[in-house]
Amino acid sequence: MLTKEDIAKRIAQELKDRYFVNLGIGIPTLVANYIPKGIDVEFQSENGVLGMGPFPFEGEEDADVINAGKQTITTLPGASFFDSAFSFGMIRSQKVDLTILGAMEVSENGDIANWKIPGKMVKGMGGAMDLVASAENIIVAMMHVNKAGESKILKKCSLPLTGVGCVKKVVTELAVLEITPKGFKLLERAPGVSVEHIIASTEANLIIEGDIPEMIIN
Amino acid sequence: MISKKVNTVQEAIQGIKNDMTIMFGGFGLCGIPENTIAELVKTETSGLTCISNNAGVDDFGLGLLLQKKQIKKMISSYVGENAEFERQMLSGELDVELIPQGTLAERCRAAQAGIPAFFTPAGYGTEVAEGKEVREFNGKMHIMEHAFKADFAIVKAWKGDEAGNLIFKGTARNFNSCMAGAAKITIAEVEELVPVGTLDPNQIHIPGIMVQRIFQGEKFEKRIEQRTVRQRN
């Protein structure tokens, strides 16, 4: 089974040269630590910065320079700041190549739910609805099952939706799944995890063709 | 030069009355008009509808207005950092409208730009779209959203001059830049109010025509919500 860092490392392999990337809060934020060697990517944060760098050194935090997770950050050479309307303008007009975000549930037609548990948790959707409605390429980083052991990879989402038919790929602690017109296709399994284990942990149907390779996590 | 300068925060908030709709700039605690909020907390103004991306934290920002029950309704995109907010919302004391962040920003910008409504794909197929006009453009479904109508917009900038010209710093620009001029009256509080002619016209982010009142805040705490650092090695 993968750790959260391993999930981030596996997703980082999806980064391509010259990609502009938006990272959501949680596991997606960790992806920035594992950019493959030899490629140039720029990170966008929807609160209004492009060219986001690592966290500042202690004592160099600037209250006016944060990411969408409200964490203090730095900027890299070539960075720019802009307002919120402009930021979502570049998201809607698909200048951002890849969006990586977390989810509570994903369904086999690519629906995603990640903003509300009615009566329990109401934090809001933040920028997630805008991002999933506009991004061409969306990868979800999530846990395959909840704390009770129930699958979060579903035929149909049970929670209020964030977006419909938008997710392209899912990376969990157990597997890499692609969403095809026919549903979830199992692409890779986590080291030491059997196909049977993944099937047993998945409520949705899985398309399984041939031998399923193990993920390579460096 | 048409001066927008007011001398005090008390003068700046003249005319803010019960049951008004007010926009507040800022993202989390970054770039919030903290002096104006602190002054509103001292008044008995209540029944406010607040348009703000977030609702502050329990003891800072809009959280202070929530503690005093001065807010009737919040229109926000993310409210996860505030326990009192969550309590008032779940108990039904506070009316809350959660909307996508890009839609929130564009509804401000539309008001600022004199555009009554627009179409966006954000929220299509979700409960956000309920009751809204849906239209297909270029093979993709969109929902219609309206410009906000607000009585006051309260924004915070880094530098400003007496003419109301504003310059923001870093990610503190966020919603401040979209809300300036998006309400009947815009109040700008700035860290540094400089004489006219000091700011380079090429560097102005918001021209003074969008601002009706400007003042220099007495002090800025600029609290950091998530202090994250890395070690030197």
For residue A124, list chain B residues with Cβ-Cβ distance below 8 A. 76-80, 98
What is the token pair recorded at A130? 């805008």
For residues B215 and B189, the answer to whether their CB atoms sit within 8 Å is yes
Percent of all residues in chain A with a pLDDT value above 70, rounded to a whole number? 100
Is the Cβ of B156 closer than 8 Å to some Cβ of chain A? Answer: no
CA-based nearest distance A196→chain B, Å:
34
Long-range contacts of B8-15 (CB under 8 A, 24+ apart): B8/B215, B9/B35, B9/B36, B9/B38, B9/B39, B9/B189, B9/B215, B9/B217, B9/B218, B10/B39, B11/B213, B11/B215, B12/B36, B12/B39, B12/B187, B12/B189, B12/B213, B12/B215, B13/B39, B13/B40, B13/B43, B13/B187, B15/B152, B15/B185
List CB contacts (< 8 A) between B122 and chain A: 92, 129-130, 133-134
Residues 62-121 of B with CB under 8 A from A: 76-81, 86, 89-90, 96, 98-106, 108-109, 120-121
- Measure the CA–CA gap between B131 and A110, rounded to whole angstroms: 24
Give the B window 130-149 contacts with A, CB below 8 Å.
none
Q: Which chain A residues are within 8 Å of B127, Cβ to Cβ?
A: 160-161
pLDDT for B165: 98
Whole-number percent of chain A with pLDDT over 90: 94
Contact B128 A63 (CB under 8 A): no
Contact A133 B120 (CB under 8 A): yes
Between A and B, how many CB-CB pairs are < 8 A?
185
Residue B127 pLDDT: 96
Per DSSP (E only), the strands in chain B are 21-24, 48-51, 71-76, 95-98, 117-120, 134-137, 140-146, 152-161, 166-167, 185-194, 213-216
Q: Per-residue pLDDT tens for A73-116?
A: 999 999 999 999 999 999 999 999 999 999 999 999 999 999 99
Q: Output the pTM of the full model.
A: 0.96
- Partner residue facing B172 (CB), from A46, A56, A64: A64
Assess whether pLDDT exceeds 90 at residue A128.
Answer: yes
Report CB contact under 8 Å: B226, A69.
Answer: yes
When pLDDT is cut at 50, 70 and 90, the band that residue A121 belongs to is confident
What distances in angstroms separate CA B165 from CA B35, B112, B184, B198, one per listed residue? 19, 15, 17, 11
- Which are the contacts of A149, defined by CB distance < 8 A and separation ≥ 6? none
Closest residue in chain A to residue B108, using alpha carbons only: A85
Contacts of B119 (CB under 8 A, 6+ apart): B135, B137, B142, B143, B144, B145
The per-residue pLDDT of chain A, averaged, comes to: 96
Considering only CB atoms, B103 lies closest to which of A45, A58, A130, namely A130
Single-letter amino acid, residue B228: T
pLDDT score recorded for residue B82: 84
pLDDT of residue A93: 97
Binary contact (A130, B128; C-beta < 8 A): no
User: Residues B94-148: pLDDT tens digits?
Assistant: 999 999 999 999 999 999 999 999 999 999 999 999 999 999 999 999 999 999 9
Q: Give dist(CA B150, CA B120) in Å, integer.
A: 21
Q: What's the pLDDT at A122? A: 81
| Ranges under pLDDT 70 in chain B | none
A26, with CB counted inside 10 A (0-12, 13-18, 19+), is middle
All residues of chain B having their beta carbon less than 8 Å from the beta carbon of residue A67 are: 171
Q: Which residues of A are catalytic?
A: 46
Asked if B26 reaches chain A (Cβ–Cβ under 8 Å), the answer is no
Task: State the pLDDT confidence band at A47, using cuts at 50, 70 and 90.
Answer: very high
Q: Do B100 and A163 touch (CB under 8 A)?
A: no
Interface of B with A in 183-202 (CB under 8 A): none
How much is the pLDDT for B81?
76
CB contact under 8 Å between A84 and B53, yes or no, is yes
Contact across the interface for A83 and B173, Cβ inside 8 Å: yes
Tokens describing residue A145 = 């099952």
Q: What is the pLDDT of residue B87?
A: 87
Mean pLDDT over residues A201-214, rounded? Answer: 97
- For residues A192-211, give the mean pLDDT: 97
What is the pLDDT averaged over residues A44-63? 96
* Both structure tokens of B69: 């029950």
What pLDDT is attached to residue A119?
81
